[in-house]
Chain A
């Protein structure tokens, strides 16, 4: 896209040695001097004072990506609810805002020099990022603000407010996906507020677009999806010891990805075909429970866990895999299914995913339809013709999925929706 437009990235953290042509990369961690307008920041703080900033245990429990694998002792669930916590929220809200008022710019910048950006004070960082980014933006010439997901949505709003430039929001994932339809709270509020203020909302799939317009009630006329692309990768096959097939789950072991369904599906497939192996690659807060549930379902010698894998190991795993299964409960896109297709792996994916719109020939089922998922997998493993066909189609589908197509479409939207030429 950098070939078509001038891009400046303002990101919390950047490697100063990473340089790209036609691309300006500003990492807040590398900023030394910056003049800023305290008054504007204060004013903005007033505006966002309604947002319930929280930190500590509350923020951690709301944090969508699971900072670390946390183990909850059975019976201890009550520890995280109840009056104590409510009182704490109120107290923490006030404290967090006070703290924000007290810190100067320098302190805000130092927030981005830590190794871990997503700590318990992520709420403060999101706000600090917004202030600094807005300050930087005011000094620049540009036509569009394009922000990605809630952590930069606040910055997008702040920049729009200060500069009046049109705001484009790119939606890769929503609180709805990460925490379920009932999720409410400060992140939801940011998402909803920002999408309401935006001039153009670009979800990564039609599926996610329906959530923006339905669940969040955003005006349909400004919501236009653009499918992600996928970089071509060099693929290979390696020898697998699993003669009757290996079925892969790849992703965080968190509710959104439906790992429990994968386990149920595995148990179903094994009833018919006991020689099949399953592997769950990734880690997440559900891991311990899943391990025990697998043992309870009696599939522990067929369904294996790898824990976290680096890219090289993921590729090795893909090179051994016979069927890719993505039973996500809500998946805005699902790039991994395309990566699998590049490896010539047929996929069985949930209908609640964006990639299902792209992989038009992939086998699909509702995430909860364990029987149908299992049936698809069994067919792909036991019917060579069906398998051949599935591979052929998936290679075609993934070939249509390019970043060039995606950036063309985005520029088209800039022009048609924002009136820019």
Chain B
């Protein structure tokens, strides 16, 4: 009984033991999962993802479900919000989402390279990591999910977002892996979501460039997968009201975001909501608790719920209430951040079957926004993300180095564009990839361990110095011939 309540609390995001906090990974960060999972933004996919699938079998759930009794007995449990007509089960439809991305890491670019070396990236390292993750994650996970999607003939469905720079790396180095993603997509049960091509976060400085990067990503998806995404999710699930409004103006029918406790005000993330700034576009909120159970804690042997079985997890999901449960993860948590020896592949092998067998269903984000209506306003006026324990932008703008670097790269937009040089523009945009700033984080504690795990340099300071050296070179190339101008800097808005 005790265990049940505990699980229930867990499922409901009710803090209970220390283990509940979706805080960053434990000391064993490396072995354990790693980065906090993202909150999906709701993309509206008009994608072929589920084209022919017959309206999902009538396990149809949808809509509101009366809170399960236990929900109501728990004072902290969110009272279920009535949605439009829900039919059945009192458990949510599950929408599963993976972020797939690899940055172009910079090499240790030193002072003497400035003005002499226009190549900033560590090609060897990037190639090496791509190969490693391909063998440990992308290939085996794609094979697994391709088989599962086929086996379950439309009952099991999922969504992904592949960054443009990631697809580009595959084009150059691992066409076989790209092929495996295409095969996965060809099952017809994978929805691809829109994001920025460069996995960047520059919206707050330049809506124009942001929008161009979204268009570039769209074109890339079209080129390789022949689809046009209809739902958006921003880099690392960044989301806030005004941003949602912009996404709506871009004609997306939905987006994803992290369900952040202080903006939910005690409500469950397991519903569609909308921003007060949009006309109607809904947002799908990621269930951080349940997502982090797999993304963070699955391989953490010190977790009191370890080892987590697919059965237990399915039970937690079923008990989590609401209309739609969004589980959103880094794809690399399967096999890379958490190696095969942790049993993560077995987990995913079993989970879809168990979920379906217990009378539940999966839906793509597009289906979710088509079927459900927002139950209320999610008033997120500050930018949030799925990262670290703070679920804000502190992983990328938490110290002076990060603030300066991300500001300065964006400030040279016009100068770069004046050159009308595609290569230069591409290089400038690659420098906007959020990972560069993530490496400069000086956070300590468990979040710091996650940053350390991902950082390819000795310290945050090295990451910053190499970046700024490369930036100086880029500035010199951009300014060449002209009088240097340090643009007046508008105060960094709260968001972005």
Contacts and interface: CB of A to CB of B under 8 A. Distances in A.
A300 B408 contact: yes
Contact of B111 (A287, A300, A306): A306
Contact of A298 (B404, B461, B469, B485): B404
7 contacts: A241-B116, A241-B476, A277-B472, A279-B111, A292-B461, A301-B472, A301-B475
B490 interface: no
A300 B484 contact: no
Contacts of A241: 114-116, 473, 476
A301 B485 contact: no
Contacts of B401: 291-292, 295, 300
A161 interface: no
Interface of B: 110-112, 114-116, 399-401, 403-405, 408, 444, 461, 464-465, 468-469, 471-473, 475-476, 483-486, 489
Contacts, number: 67
A300 B405 contact: yes
Contacts of A300: 401, 404-405, 408, 464, 468
A302 to B, nearest CB: 8
Nearest to A273: B484
B465 A304 contact: yes
A288 interface: yes
Interface of B is mostly: helix
Interface in A276-323: 277, 279, 287-288, 291-293, 295-296, 298, 300-302, 304-307, 313, 316-317
Nearest to B405: A300
Contact of A274 (B408, B468, B486): B486
B444 A73 contact: yes
Contacts of B444: 73
A242 interface: yes
A272 to B, nearest CB: 11
Nearest to A302: B472
A317 B111 CA distance: 10
A274 B485 contact: yes
Contacts of A316: 112
Contact of A313 (B112, B405, B473): B112
Given A293-B400, A295-B399, A304-B472, 10 more contacts: A240-B115, A241-B115, A270-B486, A275-B483, A292-B401, A300-B401, A300-B468, A301-B408, A301-B468, A306-B110
A73 B442 CA distance: 10
B468 to A, nearest CB: 5
A244 interface: yes
Question: Top 10 closest A-B pairs, CB basis?
Answer: A241-B115, A275-B484, A295-B400, A274-B486, A296-B400, A295-B404, A295-B401, A300-B468, A306-B111, A304-B111
Contacts of A73: 444
Contacts of B483: 275
A291 B461 contact: yes
Nearest to B483: A275
Contacts of A242: 115
B111 A295 contact: no
Contacts of B475: 301
Contacts of A301: 404, 408, 468, 471-472, 475
Interface string A335-372: 00000000000000000000000000000000000000
Please indicate which of the listed interface residues B111, B115, B471 has the most CB atoms of chain A within 10 Å of its own CB. B111
Contacts of B486: 270, 274
B407 to A, nearest CB: 8
A304 B461 CA distance: 12
Nearest to A240: B115
B202 to A, nearest CB: 17
Contacts of A275: 483-484
A298 B489 CA distance: 10
A227 to B, nearest CB: 32
Contacts of B469: 304
A171 to B, nearest CB: 34
Please indicate which of the listed interface residues A241, A287, A313 has the most CB atoms of chain B within 10 Å of its own CB. A241
Contacts of B405: 295, 300
A307 B115 CA distance: 19
Please indicate which of the listed interface residues B115, B405, B408, B471 has the most CB atoms of chain A within 10 Å of its own CB. B115
B68 to A, nearest CB: 46
A292 B403 CA distance: 11
A287 B485 CA distance: 28
A307 B489 CA distance: 29
B351 to A, nearest CB: 41
A240 B112 CA distance: 10
Contacts of B461: 287-288, 291-292
Contacts of B464: 291, 295, 300
A291 B465 contact: yes
Nearest to B112: A316
Interface in A218-254: 240-242, 244
Interface in A164-207: none
Nearest to B465: A305
Contacts of B471: 301
A313 B486 CA distance: 30
Nearest to B472: A301
A240 to B, nearest CB: 7
A307 B466 CA distance: 11
B54 to A, nearest CB: 57
Interface in A96-126: none
Contacts of A291: 401, 461, 464-465
A34 B115 CA distance: 58
A230 to B, nearest CB: 25
Interface in A126-155: none
A98 B471 CA distance: 57
A307 B465 CA distance: 10
Contacts of B115: 240-242
Given A241-B476, A295-B401, A304 B468 contact: yes
A317 B112 CA distance: 8
A296 B402 CA distance: 10
B155 to A, nearest CB: 52
A317 B444 CA distance: 35
A184 B13 CA distance: 57
A306 to B, nearest CB: 5
Nearest to B484: A275
Nearest to A73: B444
B106 to A, nearest CB: 15
B446 to A, nearest CB: 15
Nearest to A276: B484
Contact of B484 (A240, A244, A287, A293): A244
B151 to A, nearest CB: 52
A103 to B, nearest CB: 38
A275 B475 CA distance: 11
Contacts of A306: 110-112
A298 B115 CA distance: 21
B403 to A, nearest CB: 7
Contacts of B400: 292-293, 295-296
B474 to A, nearest CB: 9
Contacts of B472: 277, 301-302, 304
A312 B461 CA distance: 25
Contacts of B465: 291, 304-305, 307
A73 B472 CA distance: 29
A300 B114 CA distance: 14
